[in-house]
Each structure stands twice: as C-alpha cells, then as structure tokens.
Chains A and B, each alone.
Chain A
Amino acid sequence: MTSREPFGRSIGLLAVIPAVFLAVFFLWPVTAIVWRGLAPDGSLDLAATLDTATNQRWWKVAWFTTWQALVSTGVTLLAGIAIARIFAKFEFVGRRWLRAGFTVPFVLPTVVVGTAFIALLGSKSPIGLNLRDTVTAVIIAHVFFNVAIVVRTVGDAWARLDPRPEQASRTLGAGPWTTWREITLPRLLPSILASGSIVFLFSFTSFGVVLLLGGPARTTLEVETYIQTTAFLRLDVAAVLAMLQMSIVVLTLVFQRRMRSRPEIGEQQRSEQSIRQPIPSGRHGAAVIATLATAFAFMLTPLLVLVHESLRSGDRYTLANYSALNDGTSVMFVTPLEAIWNSLRFGIAATALAVVIGGLAAVTIAYTSGRAGRTLDLTLMLPLGTSAATLGFGILITLDEPPLDLRTSLWLVPIAHALVGIPFVIRLLVPSIRAVDDRLRKAARVLGASPWKTWVSVDVPLVARSVLAAAGFAFAISLGEFGATAFIARPEHPTLPTAIVRYLSRPGAANFGQAMAMSTILMGVTVCAVLVIERFRIGDTGDF
C-alpha cells in the first residue's frame, strides 16, 4: 500500500484544512448546542438526560426513522442501478438531457413536489392509487428525490468498467445473472455502497416528505428535533435526540465500511464512448425501453404537473404567471433574474468550497490506510445525518464573537451547503482515486517525474470526471437549498427556492401560479447547470 502515497508522509498536512473546516463549522457548534441542552447551568443533569434517553417514545421514533431509511435506500438502489445500467451501456437520442433531468427532483423544495404528489397519490389520484398517510408513499417519494444519486454515481462507475471480463465470462458459458453477480457487481460495489450511504442519510434525516406523505402519526428524529427546538425550545430533549441520531449514523457508517472492507479493484479506466451501444432490437431492447419509459413516467409526471400548473391561469393557458413574476412592490419581492443570480452565486461558492475541501479530504483518505483517514472520512459524513435545527442553533451560539461572528454573514449559506456537498465529493472521489492503476504512477516515477508531477499528469486526468460529477451534486445541493440553511438567519438575498416558498405561503390563484412558474424556472436552471458542468473537461480523459 505504500506506493499509494505519492506525497509520502506529508500527506497528512492536506487533511488539516478539511479537519479545521469541519471542526469550526460542524463539530464545535453541534457539541456546544448539545452541551447547552444537557447542562443548561453548566453542570450535567445526568438523571434528567437518562430519563429522556430511556423514554420509549424516542426509541420508537428512532426505529421508524432507521427502518424507513433502510427500505428507502434498498428500493432507491434497485431502481437506480437498473436506470444507471441503461445510461452507462446504451446510446440513444436525448440521453444527456434525460440524465440531467433526473437531477431535477433532487433540487425542488419538498413543499412544491408535495402538492404534485398529493394530486397523484392522494384521494383524487388519477391512477387510482391513494397512498396518503402510508409508509409506501414516503418510500416512493424518497426514491423520487434521491434516485439521481445512484443513477449518476453508479452510472459513472459502470461506464468506465472494462467490458472484457464480462465478455470473457459470457464466452466461457456463464449466464447473464451469474456474470452480473460474479463479475460486474463486485466491481460496482464501491460506487453502490457510496451512493447507498448517502441515500440512507438523506432518507434518515427526511423531514418534509415524512410530514406530508407519512401522515401525522409518523415522525422521524429530524421532525421531532424540529418540534422540540422550534415549537417547545426544549434543548434538553433536542440534545438527546441529536445524540441518538448521530449514534445511529455512526453505527450505520461503520457497518457500511465493513461491507466495503475488501480493497477496490484496480480497474482500468476507459472512456465512456467506446463502450456505449445503440439499444438493441428484440427482447432485451424491449426490456431496456420499458425500464426507461417507466423511469421516465415516474420521474417526469410530478414535474409535468408543476409545469402544467405554471402555464394555467383560470381556465386558460397563458404565460401570465411568468410575466407576473417581474411585478412586485414589497421589500421581500425578488425578480426571477435576481433569484437565479442569488442561487447561482451561492451555488458557485458552495461548489468551490465543497470541491476544494472535499477534494483535499478525498486525497488524504484515498492515499492513507490508517485510522486518521477513516476517522476523517466518517466525521465528514456526519453533517448529512445531523438535524438542520441542531446545526443552525449550534452555529448561533458558537460563531458569535469577532473574528468569527458569522451568525448573520451571507457566507454561512454556502458553508452550510458545502457541509452537505463535501460527503458527495469524498464518496465520488475516493474510489476513483483508488482505482487509478498504480503501474501508471510507477511508470511516471521511473521516467523521472516528481511526485507532484506524477499526481498532476496521472491521477488528476483520471479522476477529473468524478470531480465534475461531484461538483454537479454540490451545485445541485446548493440550488436546492437543503435543510442545512433552514435554521440560519440570513440577510435578504432570496434564492429560487426561497422565492417559491414565499409565493406558496400566500393564498390566491396568482400566487400559486407564480410559485409553479418559479419552480419551472428552477428546473430549467438545474438542467442547464448540470449540462454545463458535464461539458467541462479537466485534462485529458481520453482512452488508455
């Protein structure tokens, strides 16, 4: 494994920046708010804490939170892998657009898609499927929101797999199922586990979906933390919930690491185009088209409901909702262009932070095999599994004095977005860095290249695609304003999701129509952003 460390012992220095970032913007605030909850007067009230911690009610909530997240992850993985295969193996008209389109649900505010879901899966369901107030509806929605993570992560890995082992396996008489189980699956496992762990954490901290579709009787730890902090200001209970939440996250991540403990196979990297084929005719082709059509219908129907609503005013079809977006007199009013601009600025800042800090962490984690790398890896995942209320209120009581009085700084927004984006960068980059064929590095060194030169000319081009994929996610996370920022007081710079939610908090047909118009704009911006990011090329990602 020593040859994995092109920078020698100095590699540890790279980890300092991500470690400090995490300590200042996550560990310190969260520890402080938990401690404030457990020891409001400075001394720990152990009896009260134990009393809360042993309350059966929270354990029931924790159990529901965990099992629904596990089931959601399983279903999302199954659906995601099926779709990823099609995107990786076949070339067809509109492939890029469709693939970018899958990211859209990921960025839409839950409350927006929520009304579409109620229309489709409620008591007036056009498909006769009333799933309101069921766990099934929650799981379906989780698949809808998160399947892009699997499609893109596993799809990218799949597209780069050398197809020859499969071909050899089939030639030697193995059936498609055996080939998949014995040859393909083991090689895809790192990306499956990586995306699976992120989907798990997103489903685990689910808030809006559970509230809306699960019915009032089902709550997650995230929902309970929100109620305890916002409605009751019971920091003691919230602290116990936060610890419970984090313990489950750590246990799951450790378990997940066990599963991938076998080293990643040094996979030859290939360019995608060389292996993608047209959709075949016959039975196989029909199955591919059927899968694609189902996925298409599932993902697009709720989105088309929104677009349709945005074009309606009374009984007419019109662009009135769009043109009305430019009229407003209130101090809270924002034009779509301003909102797009605000969203893009936050997005760029958040993506830059996530890629730089996550990238440094990924390099450290990939090149070191010790405990330090593993700890960094695990700790950087924690923000995904922590309640937004806990982090937001924690920041409020810690980063409150100069030189770090950031409580009302606009920078907090991209920082919070980056905390969610960093795990994506790490999950996508580490397997990709580890998969770089070590013989290439050795060849470079033998030919006289310095460690730095070797890294730039061998590693960087090979992981560039993963960097772009990770940047795409970080950007999408920021565009979608994930929960992380819900509890941060922010100066008036409304983004697209903020503007949408504001329209939706007022009665009147025009307000609803304008919310739908703004949502349609957000969808458009997302597809464009993802397509633009995918067009970037860092270094040469050509064939080897």
Chain B
Amino acid sequence: MPLTTVFSSNRTRLVTLVIWIAIVAGACGSDTNTSSTATEPLPSPSNPKTITLVTHESFALSQDLLAAFTAQTGITVELLTSGDAGTALNQSILSAGNPLGDVIFGIDNTFMSRALDADILDAYDSPLLAEIPDEFKLDETNRLLPVSVGDVCLNYDVGFFADSGVAPPQSLADLTDPALKDLLVVQNPATSSPGLAFLLASIAEFGFDGGYTWKNYWADLRANGVRVSPGWTEAYYGDFTWAGGGDRPIVVSYASSPPAEVFFAEPPPTEAPTAVVEASCFRQQEFVGILTGTTETAAAEMFIDFLLGVEAQNDIPWNMFVFPVNINATPPPEFVEFSLIPANPLSLPSVAIESSREGWIEDWTDIVVR
C-alpha cells in the first residue's frame, strides 16, 4: 500500500461525498432524504455495503469466515478496536446519536445495564434468537443479543499441588484456609475485568447479610496473604507458578484457560497442566448490539445474524476461548475435552452490578489494599 492511501483516503472521499449529498439534498428540498431508507435494497454482492464493528482488543474470528460473509452478502466489516470492553462502551456512550460505528460487540453482563440505560442501542428481533436458550437472553428488549458465554474461575497449577501434597481448593471458602496461605493471586477489580468478575463471585457467594459477608471473606483473604495484580496478564504471566516465574499456584483466570494451555503447547500434553475450581466460577456473557444512529441498519442486522449463526458460533471457541450460545452449534471436541462447563456458575443481576460497582470496588479497596 503506498503511503498516500494509507490513512483512509476512502474515508476522506466518503466525507466529501456525504457533504455533496447534503448540499444537493438541501438544495432539492427536504422530502428527498426521508423516503430513501424505506426503499433501500438489501445489501448484496451487487449492492455492497461497509459497516464498522466497534469492539475490544480480544475480539477474534477466522479471517476466512468473515471473507465468506463478505462474498455472500456484499458487506465488508471494518474493525474499530479500543483497549477493553469498558473503554469501547464508554466511547459509544459519549458519542451517542453520532456513533463511531454500526455494531458494537463485547459488552458483557457487568456492563450491560450501563449500555441499556445510556440508550445507545437499537432493538433487533433476530430470527436466530429462536436458536438461543432463554437463560442467555438477559435483555428482554433485544437491544443486546447474546453471542458467547464463558466463566471466570480460579485456576490452579496441578503440578504444584501434586508435588507439595497440599490439597487444591474446592471452593471459595477454602481460600481462607491457612494451608493455602500466600498461594493466591487475584486481579484488581478496579482495573481488570476478570478481577471484577471474581469480586462479584465472592459477593454472589457470601452476600451481604448474616454473620459472614463478602467483606469478611476478603478481610480473611487479606489475612491469608492474597496478592493483588493490576491485570490478567501480570497475574497469569507474572505471578502464576505455571505460566510465569511467580510463586502463586492459584490465579483468577478463565474456565477455558486449561484447554488453551494444551492447545498452545509444543508438543501438546495429554493432560491439562492447570485445572479449574468449579465452585468459584462467575458467568460472563458477551453481547452484540446495533448502535443507534447507524445508517446501515439492514447490513448491521445481517452481520448480527451471521454472528449468531452456526458457522460463526462454531468458530468462536478457538478464537475467543468462550462457548457459543446457539443450541445448534457444536464446539470443537478438543476444546470441549479440556474445558469445564460449571453446572451452577455464580452470577449477579446486571442492574445490581451497575448500580453498586463503584461502592463495591471502593469497599474492596478499603478492605484489601488500604
């Protein structure tokens, strides 16, 4: 690509075109631009469209699959990435009405309520919702449609516990056992999404009432030597005994981390070197939605149908390390073999998370680090 075309000259041309259209439309009178949307033909290879997908850095899908979608529908999907899900969502809220793109992917159940309250999404009753179990449809208004489901869980270094003779934890409560002193690393919930999920897991487990609340739990974890790392990467590759040079054999990670440790190893081991504490898992769902103000509603809807369709759903596990939500999807057997799908994952209502997030994180900070 020559340097001159590098910085989206297409966009410049597009802007110029839009300005011209606006001028012409203004000159011809105001009734020309209202009727156009109704008669607009659907996108197709002969009527190509481009949509922009606003997402976070962890989005991934097979290139071939997306290329096939473009060939079939004439819809080119441009990616617009922001650091993390929170940043991408907040950017969309700040640009409400004049969106950065047409579709947003990556809003999870911890941010769902904020997105719905901000009124930045259009409803879409996708026909594919019929293939998705009701338990995943957290938004009745269908402004946020479920795409994937995963769990944030404690992982432990199998070799460490085999060598030391200490029993690995079975529950959240076990972590306060003096036998597991100085063995746990968690992420700061103020700066990390798995860190927040683990805090929410403890709140869901221990609650607010009675003699022992989530606050008592964290005071006990602090007494038992919990280490706090700023983010997943630092905890997993810095402090975790298995993956990093660290001294902590228990880490907050994902239910899908053990299969990744098998898949991304040379040669692949026959058994996963890490394991998941099933009782510690907190459910995380990711959603997709159409940004209000888009001019490409039809193309956006077709893209969402594609994302919820069986092919894309089957592609999700090895790309994003989460499970599909479509009941007809068949996740790859190697992925399923080493994965654990918790029977009863912990969860909290999205509304409660949004309204209390700041207070909970403040309280957590007071208890654990100050």
Contacts and interface: CB of A to CB of B under 8 A. Distances in A.
Given A111-B234, A320-B266, A345-B3, A509 B188 contact: no
B243 A330 contact: no
Nearest to B52: A408
B81 A410 contact: no
A9 B370 CA distance: 58
B63 A115 contact: no
Contacts of B345: none
Interface in A181-236: 208, 211-212, 215-217, 223, 226-227, 229-234
Contact of B369 (A122, A217, A223, A329): A217
Interface string A371-403: 000000000000000000000010011001111
Contact of A217 (B19, B61, B88, B370): B370
Contact of A489 (B19, B82, B230, B263): B82
A313 interface: yes
Contacts of B91: 393, 396, 487, 489
Interface in B197-229: 228-229
Interface in B64-95: 64, 66, 78-84, 86-88, 90-91, 93-95
A118 interface: yes
Given A115-B238, A407-B95, A227 B8 contact: no
Contacts of B64: 329
A124 interface: yes
A405 interface: yes
Contacts, number: 197
A122 B95 CA distance: 42
Interface in B173-209: 188, 190-191, 196
B131 interface: no
B59 A332 contact: yes
A512 B114 contact: no
Contacts of A489: 54, 80-82, 88, 91, 100
A124 B227 CA distance: 14
Contact of A331 (B66, B100, B101): B66
Nearest to A232: B358
A472 to B, nearest CB: 21
B191 A508 contact: no
Contacts of B80: 408, 489-492
B60 A115 contact: no
Contact of B238 (A122, A223, A314, A511): A122
Given A211-B191, A489-B100, A501-B57, A397 B95 contact: yes
B191 A226 contact: yes
Given A320-B266, A408-B52, A118 B78 contact: no
Contact of B63 (A114, A329, A511): A329
Contact of B319 (A231, A330, A410): A330
A233 B114 contact: yes
Interface string B97-111: 010110000000000
Contacts of B98: 400-401
Which range holds the interface residue count of chain A?
35 or more
Interface string B221-247: 000000011111110111100011111
B18 interface: yes
Interface in B312-370: 319, 321, 357-358, 361, 365, 368-370
Contacts of B44: none
A320 B98 CA distance: 46
Give the residue among A233, A234, A345, A349 with the most B Cβ atoms within 10 A. Answer: A233
Given A490-B81, A512-B237, A118 B3 contact: no
Which range holds the interface residue count of chain B?
35 or more
Contacts of A223: 191
B287 interface: no
Contacts of B101: 408
Contacts of B79: 331-332, 491-492
Contact of A505 (B18, B58, B61, B267): B58
A123 interface: yes
B261 interface: yes
Interface string A319-361: 0100000000111110000000000010011000000000000
A337 to B, nearest CB: 13
B92 to A, nearest CB: 9
B257 interface: yes
A208 B192 CA distance: 13
Contact of B8 (A233, A402, A410): A410
B303 to A, nearest CB: 13
Interface string B10-26: 01000100110000000
B260 interface: yes
Interface in A496-533: 498, 501-502, 504-512
A393 B92 CA distance: 10
The 8 tightest CB contacts between A and B, nearest first, are A508-B264, A211-B230, A510-B264, A492-B79, A216-B369, A118-B238, A216-B228, A330-B60
Interface of B: 3, 6-8, 11, 15, 18-19, 52, 54, 57-64, 66, 78-84, 86-88, 90-91, 93-95, 98, 100-101, 114, 188, 190-191, 196, 228-234, 236-239, 243-247, 253-254, 257, 260-261, 263-267, 319, 321, 357-358, 361, 365, 368-370
11 contacts: A211-B231, A216-B365, A216-B369, A227-B190, A331-B66, A332-B79, A348-B3, A393-B90, A490-B81, A507-B243, A510-B264
Interface of A: 111, 114-115, 118-119, 122-124, 208, 211-212, 215-217, 223, 226-227, 229-234, 313-314, 320, 329-333, 345, 348-349, 393, 396-397, 400-403, 405, 407-411, 486-492, 498, 501-502, 504-512
Given A111-B233, A231-B357, A332-B59, 20 more contacts: A115-B244, A122-B246, A123-B246, A212-B230, A229-B90, A231-B361, A330-B62, A331-B63, A332-B60, A393-B91, A396-B91, A400-B98, A407-B100, A409-B8, A488-B82, A489-B80, A489-B82, A490-B82, A491-B79, A507-B264
